[in-house]
Amino acid sequence: MLRLRGRSFGPGEFAVMAVVNRTPDSFFDRGATFAFQAALDAASRLIGEGADIIDIGGVKAGPGDPVGPAEEIDRVAGLVAAVRERHPDVIISVDTWRSEVAEVVAEAGADLINDTWGGVDPALPEVAAEHGLGLVCAHAGRLRPRTRPHRIGYEDVVADVVRYTTALAERAAAAGVARDRILIDPAHDFGKNTWHSLEVSRRLGELVATGWPVLVAVSNKDFIGEALGGLPVERRHVGTLATLTVSALQGARVFRVHDAASARKALGVVARLTAAARGPGRPAAEGRGPRPQE
């Protein structure tokens, strides 16, 4: 069971995590929500479209202009506080690998730290534990933050992902993070080439089988574009929904996306089809959050 801010998500229940980037150089929106008011309005819109979790980021994942801890805090802490004031019940996540950022956003009202760089700051679990936050434990190929892999290889990429993320999860639990607030994330495209990311998608059930709730962050990523013949970012929507569906059918619990409405609709279809396959009287749980108009 995954529990965040008084809400529970069990097997078969899907949580939509919507992205709001306070960055001028995001690969997807190219700075559309960098301005404070644009970011706050985007959060409200995404919640209205069915997002259960708002994931706020202040640093572009890929290489780019350096962003120090103080600037990252300036970008995200005020937005966390504003979203919390406007939407007291929504789950707020912050995408950071830095414990000093986590400390500040915890005070501002965050519920979850999304550590996409896989534990590079050993103090992060202690901060999460101290403030009662959840923690995402990701596999980024042991890379330094904001770097790309060069000819990276694994004997078995899925086995490496399982081994690394579960070790991080156990370390977080040992530091005092509640076990029902810990997720694992294979981190598609982080420390992985397209084949690695596709293999992780194909065998995602092996991560689910560990018992830790699994988060997938595949929205509009490069591996989808390359697998579909080199599609640019703006043409990866259908591939994103297909990958979300494959992940949901294998048991993923949380889905980090740019388009909350489409994700909610797709996951609702998965839930209904799963319920139908189980037969009368054995429904699968619907995804959480308000359902958009059909």
DSSP 36-50: HHHHHHHHHHHHHTT
Q: Is residue 293 assigned to a domain? A: no
- What average pLDDT is seen over the chain? 94
pLDDT band at 293 (very low <50, low <70, confident <90, very high): very low
Instruction: Give the tokens for residue 4.
Output: 């965040």
Q: Is residue 6 assigned to a domain? A: no
Residue 20 pLDDT exceeds 80:
yes
Catalytic center residues:
221, 256
Residue 155 belongs to domain with CATH number: 3.20.20.20
Instruction: Give the tokens for residue 151.
Output: 């000819």
Q: Is residue 290 assigned to a domain? A: no
d(CA 229, CA 250): 25
Q: Is residue 291 assigned to a domain? A: no
Collapsing DSSP to helix, strand or coil, 144 comes out as coil
Domain of residue 163, residue span? 14-278
Q: Is residue 50 assigned to a domain? A: yes
Render pLDDT for 135-162 as a digit per residue (tens, 0 to 9): 999 999 999 999 988 889 999 999 999 9
Q: Is residue 132 assigned to a domain? A: yes
Looking at beta carbons, which pairs linking 59-68 to residues 24 or more positions away fall under 8 Å?
59/23, 59/95, 59/96, 59/146, 60/21, 60/23, 60/25, 60/26, 60/27, 60/146, 61/27, 61/116, 61/146, 61/190, 62/27, 62/146, 62/148, 63/146, 63/147, 63/148, 64/25, 64/146, 65/25
Q: Is residue 288 assigned to a domain? A: no
Number of domains making up the chain: 1
Render pLDDT for 205-257 as a digit per residue (tens, 0 to 9): 999 999 999 999 999 999 999 999 999 999 999 999 999 999 999 999 999 99
Q: Is residue 3 assigned to a domain? A: no
Q: What's this model's pTM, rounded to 2 decimal places?
A: 0.93
Residues 6+ apart with CB under 8 A from 245: 266, 269, 270
